[in-house]
Amino acid sequence: VAKLNLTEIILRALGLKVDPVTHFRQFTYPRGGMGLLYERMAEAVRGSGGRVETGVTIERLVQERGRIAQVVYRAADGSPQRVECEGVVSTIPLPVVVRYLDPALPAPVLEHAKRLRYRSLQFCYVVVHAEQVMKFHWCYLLDRWYKCNRVSEQKNVDQGMIGDGRTVLLFEMSCDKDDPVWHAGDEGLRRIVEEDIAHSKLLDPSAIEGFFSRRVEYAYPVYKLHFENDLFPVLEALHSFDNFLS
C-alpha cells in the first residue's frame, strides 16, 4: 500500500522510475478466502451451543425500557420467527437499521438517517482460460476512460482457490442506486468490463470463458461536507439502547 509522496509523483510525471514508499509490503490472507473467517466464527457459535441462521429477513427490533428485547424476522423458509435477546450486534447500514425499531425512533432521527449517503458496488467476475493474468493481487484503474475502479485476481493470494488452467478477475464498479450501471444486467456489465479490458490490454478477450456479477447496495459511506450533522444524531439514538452495538 503506497504512501502519498509528492516527490515520487513529480518524478513519475517526468517519466522517471522510482521505488514507491509504502506503508507495508506484505499482508496476511487466509487460505480459502475471507469467508473462512466467518465459517470459523459460526463453528465457534455452534460449538458453544448457539444457533446460526442465514438467509433471514429482519422485520422488527422490539425495544422495551431502553433495550432491544426481541428480534422479529422471517426465516429462510418464510416462517415468522421471534427471539428474545440479551444483546444485538448489527452491521446493517444505518439508514436501514433505524427503520426496524419498534416503537419507531423519533421522526427527526429518521430524517437524519435518510440523508446519509452511500455508494453502491457492482462486482463483475470474469472467468479466464489462463493460469494467471496479473503478477499482483489488485490494480486501481484511475484513468478517466475506465468505468471500473479496481481489478483484482484472487488466485494471486491463494492458488488453491481456483483450479489449474483457470483464473478469475474481479472488476469493481462503484455507482449510485439511480445510475444505469446499478440496473444493468450481466450482458450490459460485461460490455463495460470488456471495454475496460480493451483499454488496459490485460488479456486477449478470446480467453474469457464466462462472466457473472453480484452487487452491494450499501458499500461505501459518502463523507460529504458536514455529514456528521446527520450521522451523530443517528448514532446517539441507537447507542441509547444499552444492549445494542452498531
Instruction: Kindly give the confidence (pLDDT) of every residue in the chain, 246 residues in length, as a single tens digit, with 9 standing for 90 and above.
Output: 566 667 777 777 777 766 666 656 677 788 888 889 999 999 999 999 999 999 999 999 999 999 999 999 999 999 999 999 999 999 999 999 999 999 999 999 999 999 999 999 999 999 999 999 998 888 999 888 999 999 999 888 888 888 889 999 999 999 998 899 999 999 999 999 999 999 999 999 899 999 999 999 999 999 999 999 999 999 999 999 999 999
Let me know how many helices (H) and strands (E) the chain has, helices first. 7, 11
CB 184 within 8 A of CB 177: no
At 225, list the grid cell. 461536507
Q: Provide the pLDDT for residue 60.
A: 97
Torsional sign, CA 157, 160, 165, 166: negative
d(CA 229, CA 231): 6
Q: Provide the pLDDT for residue 24.
A: 64
How far is the CA of 135 from the CAs of 148, 152, 157, in angstroms? Answer: 19, 10, 10
Write down the pTM of the prediction.
0.82
